[in-house]
Structures are given as C-alpha cells and as structure tokens.
Amino acid sequence: MSVDALTVALATRSYSLDVRPGVARSWPAATAVRQASARVVVTNRTIAALYPELVAGTQCNLRIELEDGERYKTADSVDVIHSALLRARCDRKCIIVAVGGGVVGDTAGFAAATYMRGIPFIQVPTTLLAQVDSSIGGKTAINHPLGKNMIGAFHQPSAVFIDPLLLNTLPDAELSAGFAEIIKHALIRDAAYLDWLEANSAGLLARDPELLTHAIRRSCEIKAAIVEADEFETGERALLNLGHTFGHALEAVLGFGTWLHGQAVGCGLVLATDMSARLGLIDSAAVARVQRIVSAFRLPVRVPAQASTSALVDAMLLDKKNEGGRVRFILLEAIGRGVIRPESVELAAQVIDAHR
Ligand code: NAD
Ligand code: GLY
C-alpha cells in the first residue's frame, strides 16, 4: 500500500492529505506549523482526555478546549477562540491546529477564516466523518439559532493529517456514521469501490487498520478530485450532497441530535437511489443493493413513523439550495455516476412512503 500523501490541487494553493496509521503525531513537523509565529491547538475535552500527547502544551503555545457537542458549534465558541488569540497577542502568522471531529474542525476553521481576516490552520481529524469529509475542501461553518451551518466561509487548511488509528476509540455509531459518507463517495464516483466496500464491510466495522486506511484514502481521493474541479460549489461539488436532501430533512424533523448526521445520510442514500429508479435513471435492483449495503454498515434504511411525510417535504422545500420551487436532488444515473436534477417533491413523498 502506497504511503505517499494525497494532494488537493487548487488554483490558488495546494495542500496535502497525509493518510497513514500513526501520522497524527507528525503535525508539529508540518511546514506551515514550523513557519508559524505561534501554534494554537483547538480541541475538545473528550479528545484532550483520550489523546493528551496530540495536544500537549509542549507542542503548542496555546491550547483551547471546547465543550464537546454540536450545540457548541456556535458564535460563542468562535468568540472563545478569538479572545484567547487576542489575549495571547497572536499575530496573523500564528496557526490554528484543529484536533477533533467535524465540530472542532468546522469551528476552529471558521475562527481561522475570520481572525485578522484569515490565518492558516491545519486539520487533524479524529472521526471517520471528519477524515473522509469535513476536514477536506475548506468548508467551515458554525450554527446559528435559525439554522445549521448558516454562518461560514470557504477557508482551505494548509495540511490535513489523517490517522486511522485514532478511530480505535470512536464509538460504534460514530464509526458507522462516517461510512455513510464513504458509501456516498462510491455511489457518485466509483462502482468498483462500492463492490469493495460491500465485500469488506465486516473487516471495516472491525476497524482493520489496512482496510480502513484503504477506504479513507480512496474516499479522500474522490473528495479531493471533486473539490479541485469545483472549489466553491458552483457545479459538481453538489454531488457530495447525495442523500443529504432527504438526510437533512430527517435530521430536522426528528430533531437535531436524534439521529447522527451520518445515520440520516445513510437512510437518505437509500431514498435517493429509489428516487433515481422511479425516474428511470437506474435499475430498480440498485435500490435493494444500496439498502443492503447501508444496512450492513449498521445505518438505518427506514423512515421512522414519527417523521411525517408532509413534515419531511416541508423541510426539503426550505433547503437553501432549491431553485424556483423545485427541490435540487442529487440522483444516480448508474452506480458510480451521480447527477444533479431539480425534481418535484411529489415523487420524493412517494419514495418516503415506500420506505416506512
Ligand atoms: P463530532 O465532531 O461531534 O464528533 C462526534 C463525537 O465523537 C464527539 O463526541 C467527539 O468528541 C467524539 N470523538 C471525536 N473523535 C473521537 C475519537 N477518536 N475517539 C473517541 N471519540 C471521539 O462529529 P463529526 O461527525 O465528526 O462531525 C459532525 C460535524 O461535521 C457537523 O457539525 C457537520 O455539520 C460537520 N460537517 C462539515 C463538513 C464540511 O465540509 N465542513 C462536512 C460534513 C460534516
Ligand atoms: N460535505 C460536502 C462538501 O464538502 O462539499
């Protein structure tokens, strides 16, 4: 297995995605860190307790421990980071090192995007979801009381250190949630990768380090290629939202936190595949197959009774990415080939009803 770092090559700047067991400890050696005037680690209490060596005071000038949880992905947490930087007289050449899952990465990244109009940051993602999705591509955001991820900025990291060994302590449900994004990558871009995931689900769930490293690398390659082609989501980057239109509606209607984001996306992948089949884009056998794979990774495939179809449709109509009253769905033209299509919500309602 190759251990070369992957690259996200953007028009303005490139950065590396180093995917290797044990690589997390290498972050202090990153060029961007060595060149920085000060190192500021942002993490949360859970990670600091589990991995003290990664966030040790000897490696940084300042360590900021946020509270753990999505409800702390807020302007208040960004203010905590900015205030600590100002008190420590950090200048524009300091660097933020985000060590944690997507919540820490998104919050620390947004703090970096906005401190003194932008300072560098690196990501050391510690959840599977963060390792294959949120740490790559430069989307940073915090939640607003009126909407999730509503306040944000595109701000690319200077480097990403992706260490599959950190996943050994991740709760099972969080691991499965990360696989929803991995299955999504295979569905939109790589049919052979889906075959491989299907054949290796047991080993991946058992956290075999070689299998996990392979999956993370392949997913990072797919995400990097899409971000390189469309950094600011004017087109094909939206393919990364496969399963998310249904998924976000499920999260909102069930109440944020009832299902993990990845659980909602897993169910959303099944619904989006079924919608593709009903539109004649893909063979109907694909629906049963995607359902089997999502289920094999211990993700839900049925819409819970407490989420009514009308409430889910209303939530889809509220999505900020809609065009002219039609909902923009990401669908499949084949396993391995995603497509973006505005469609009516009546069909989405039929699909939801078929998966009770
Ligand atoms: P998270 O950051 O809340 O982490 C999940 C839980 O796992 C937390 O309790 C965390 O403390 C714990 N944890 C993290 N690493 C651990 C480890 N190695 N061992 C044990 N426990 C560990 O959740 P997440 O799923 O990583 O991220 C979700 C967030 O990511 C959401 O806010 C979502 O909006 C965001 N997101 C952003 C992007 C993007 O492109 N920026 C993409 C997808 C999701
Ligand atoms: N998670 C979707 C994206 O990065 O575009």
DSSP assignment letter at 5: P
The Cα 229–Cα 235 span in angstroms is 9
- What is the 61 CA–ligand 2 centroid distance (Å)? 31
Q: What angle do CA 181, 258, 136 make, to 5 degrees?
A: 25
Using DSSP bridges, classify how beta strands 159-162 and 14-19 pair: parallel, antiparallel or unpaired: parallel
pLDDT digits (tens, 9 = 90+) for 81-119: 999 999 999 999 999 999 999 999 999 999 999 999 999
- What is the 136 CA–ligand 2 centroid distance (Å)? 8
Q: Report the C-alpha dihedral over residues 68, 73, 79, 83, rounded to 10 degrees.
A: 40
Q: How confident is the model at residue 318 (pLDDT cuts 50, 70, 90)?
A: confident
pLDDT for 4? 85
Is 106 annotated to bind a ligand? Reply is yes
The Cα 243–Cα 182 span in angstroms is 12
pLDDT digits (tens, 9 = 90+) for 246-297: 999 999 999 988 999 999 999 999 999 999 999 999 999 999 999 999 999 9
The Cα 57–Cα 64 span in angstroms is 10
pLDDT digits (tens, 9 = 90+) for 12-35: 889 999 999 999 999 999 999 999
Q: How confident is the model at residue 320 (pLDDT cuts 50, 70, 90)?
A: low
Bridge partners (DSSP) of residue 147 are 144
In the predicted model, is pLDDT for residue 175 greater than 70?
Answer: yes
pLDDT for 2? 46
Q: What is the pTM of this model?
A: 0.97
Pocket of ligand 2 (CB under 6 A): 133, 137, 139, 233, 237, 240
Q: How confident is the model at residue 174 (pLDDT cuts 50, 70, 90)?
A: very high
Kindly list the strands in the beta sheet with 62-66, ordered across the sheet, starting from the edge strand earlier in the chain.
6-9, 14-19, 159-162, 121-125, 95-100, 39-44, 62-66
Is 184 annotated to bind a ligand? Reply is no
CA-to-CA dists, residue 88 to 9, 37, 40, angstroms: 33, 12, 10
Q: Which of 43, 104, 134, 150 to mutate to test the pocket of ligand 1 (most atoms within 8 A of CB)?
A: 134
Q: Report the C-alpha dihedral over residues 221, 256, 77, 27, rounded to 10 degrees.
A: -20
pLDDT for 326? 80
User: Which ranges in the chain belong to alpha helices (H)?
Assistant: 31-34, 45-50, 75-87, 102-114, 128-129, 172-189, 191-199, 201-205, 209-229, 244-254, 261-278, 285-296, 309-318, 345-354
The number of the ligand 1 atom at minimal distance from the alpha carbon of 106 is 41
Closest CA to 26 of 165, 163, 166: 163
- Domains of the chain listed by start with CATH number: 6-169 (3.40.50.1970), 172-354 (1.20.1090.10)
The Cα 222–Cα 201 span in angstroms is 19
Q: What angle do CA 140, 141, 147 make, to 5 degrees?
A: 155
Q: What number of other Cβ atoms are within 10 A of residue 86's Cβ?
A: 11
pLDDT for 1? 42
Q: Is 320 a catalytic residue?
A: no
Output b/e per residue, 87-101; b: 16+ Cβ within 10 A. eeebeeebbbbbbbb
Q: What is the mean pLDDT of the chain?
A: 96
Q: Is 117 a catalytic residue?
A: yes
DSSP assignment letter at 130: I
Average pLDDT score over residue span 315-324: 77
Residue bearing the CA closest to ligand 1, atom 44? 134
Q: How confident is the model at residue 322 (pLDDT cuts 50, 70, 90)?
A: confident
Closest CA to 336 of 214, 198, 210, 211: 198
Write the CB contacts of 94 (distance below 8 Å, at least 6 apart in sequence). Answer: 36, 37, 38, 39, 40, 61, 85, 119
Q: Which of 63, 248, 251, 278 is catalytic?
A: 248
User: Which ranges in 26-74 belong to alpha helices (H)?
Assistant: 31-34, 45-50
pLDDT digits (tens, 9 = 90+) for 324-334: 768 999 999 99
DSSP assignment letter at 101: S
Pocket of ligand 1 (CB under 6 A): 44, 46-47, 50, 68, 70, 73, 100-104, 106, 126-127, 129-130, 133-134, 137, 139, 149, 166, 169-170, 174, 177, 261
pLDDT digits (tens, 9 = 90+) for 125-144: 999 999 999 999 999 999 99
Q: Dig out the tokens for 261 from the structure.
A: 């984001």
Write the CB contacts of 104 (distance below 8 Å, at least 6 apart in sequence). Answer: 42, 43, 44, 47, 66, 98, 126
CB 181 within 8 A of CB 265: yes
Q: Which of 223, 231, 251, 278 is catalytic?
A: 223
Q: Is 321 a catalytic residue?
A: no
pLDDT digits (tens, 9 = 90+) for 64-84: 999 999 999 999 999 999 999
